């Protein structure tokens, strides 16, 4: 649990701040003096300091000055005070505080908004920790500086390179790149050009001691997303890094939504249809077998008419989850439309595909739905690809699905 140090002489405001912070998953350690505050800092890993400007033994301003002379310089500080003075604000911000809030505004949304933003930042860091990051710098000292900054934020999924050729050879492993401009044998600009050709949607950040505006503009023109100058300031470095990562994650989320069915989370009609065509082209190169499956929920209209569309949606979502899990990574599954679903079973011959699909069908037969007393069955058509186009193989699967329906439902025709 993240710990927050609060310095406040008034008991009322300690309670108010604790009431705001603790429900958001943080632990508050409070004191009214600087001596005890430094003792707390020594014994605990503190993520944030909230201080009033009137403590029992000194002013909040003097406490921050002391803080800046010790090893706690990187802990963000918020000042919470009754004094609304432009001169005081200016002095405190010049000391490096992250925010200045008036006590009269605490009961409004200011402090809540700050902690909600902090939670979002924590979520962002967790997302970054899942991405693979590559850093290229021919200086081991430069690499160590970046490594130390990342370590402070527990970002350890990073590979550090001094050789640009090895860096480019491994490009496919990563989604976020940091590149120095001055490199042996090959320029940083050339590395950026090659990276951008290969990884169109990745994040590329230049890290360099060069501050010439033309150099920076050329790096951006060649495909870099941002430029961070050396020597690094920890706060600025991470702020710029997180801003680029946030944009990248937003783009990936929008990209995902564009190809995903909103209700079931499976791929949508357009994506799954196009995937059949792309897999046919892949088969031409690798000669791998694959099958196309088209299924339909039996009497689904009756479910909607009898139990309502909310229950119908529950059936679709439940079936989709089982559908996606049934074939693991060996299939790409999508909602083809309404209560119809389609899957491409990769590296699968017809006989093996039929066994797997029937196992899935039997699982659907016994699936229960919370609060309901009915069971669902499915019908399907399964085709192994031979020489058909995407339209032709889907048409064959559809004809077999119709045959399964005509033959009494709850069966797979192949």
Active site residues: 339
Sheet strands (E) in 124-164: 133-136, 158-161
Helix (H) or strand (E) holding 254: helix 234-259
In whole angstroms, what is the distance from residue 58 CA to residue 348 CA?
74
- Residue 54 per-residue DSSP state: B
Terminal C-alpha separation, the chain? 55
Residues 365, 367, 368, 372: is their CA dihedral positive or negative? negative
Residues 281, 283, 284, 286: is their CA dihedral positive or negative? positive
Q: Which of 341, 410, 350 is nearest to 382 (CA)?
A: 350
Q: Phi and psi dihedrals of 271, rounded to 5? A: -65, -50
List 293's β-bridge partners, or say none.
343, 382
Non-local (6+) Cβ contacts of 266 within 8 A are 260, 272, 320, 323, 324, 333, 334, 335, 341
């Amino acid at each position: 649990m993240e710990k927050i140090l609060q310095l406040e002489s008034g008991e009322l405001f300690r309670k108010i701040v604790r009431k705001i912070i603790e429900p958001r998953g943080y632990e508050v350690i409070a004191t009214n003096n600087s001596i005890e505050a430094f003792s707390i800092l020594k014994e605990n890993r503190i993520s944030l300091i909230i201080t009033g400007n009137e403590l029992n033994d000194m002013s909040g301003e003097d406490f921050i000055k002391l803080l800046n002379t010790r090893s706690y310089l990187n802990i963000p500080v918020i000042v919470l005070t009754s004094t609304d003075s432009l001169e005081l604000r200016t002095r405190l911000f010049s000391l490096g505080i992250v925010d200045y809030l008036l006590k009269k505004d605490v009961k409004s949304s200011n402090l809540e908004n700050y902690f909600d933003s902090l939670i979002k930042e924590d979520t962002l860091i967790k997302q970054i920790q899942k991405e693979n990051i590559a850093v290229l710098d021919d200086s081991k000292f430069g690499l160590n500086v970046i490594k130390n900054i990342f370590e402070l934020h527990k970002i350890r999924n990073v590979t550090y390179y001094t050789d640009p050729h090895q860096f480019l050879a491994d490009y496919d492993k990563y989604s976020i790149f940091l590149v120095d401009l001055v490199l042996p044998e090959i320029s940083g600009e050339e590395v950026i050009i090659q990276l951008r050709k290969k990884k169109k949607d990745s994040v590329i950040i230049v890290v360099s001691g060069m501050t010439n505006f033309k150099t920076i503009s050329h790096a951006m023109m060649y495909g870099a997303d941002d430029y961070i100058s050396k020597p690094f300031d920890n706060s600025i470095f991470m702020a710029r890094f997180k801003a680029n990562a946030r944009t990248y994650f937003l783009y990936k989320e929008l990209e995902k939504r564009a190809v995903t069915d909103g209700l079931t989370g499976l791929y949508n009609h357009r994506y799954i249809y196009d995937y059949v065509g792309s897999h046919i082209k892949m088969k031409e190169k690798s000669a791998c077998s694959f099958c196309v499956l088209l299924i339909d929920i039996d009497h689904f209209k009756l479910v909607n008419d009898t139990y309502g569309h909310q229950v119908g949606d529950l059936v679709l979502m439940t079936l989709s989850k089982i559908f996606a899990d049934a074939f693991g990574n060996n299939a790409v599954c999508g909602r083809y439309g309404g209560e119809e679903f389609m899957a491409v079973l990769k590296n699968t011959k017809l006989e093996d595909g039929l066994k797997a699909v029937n196992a899935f069908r039997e699982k659907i037969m016994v699936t229960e739905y919370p609060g309901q007393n009915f069971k669902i069955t499915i019908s399907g058509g399964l085709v192994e690809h031979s020489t058909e186009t995407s339209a032709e193989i889907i048409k064959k699967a559809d004809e077999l699905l119709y045959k399964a329906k005509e033959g009494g439902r709850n069966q797979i025709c192949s």
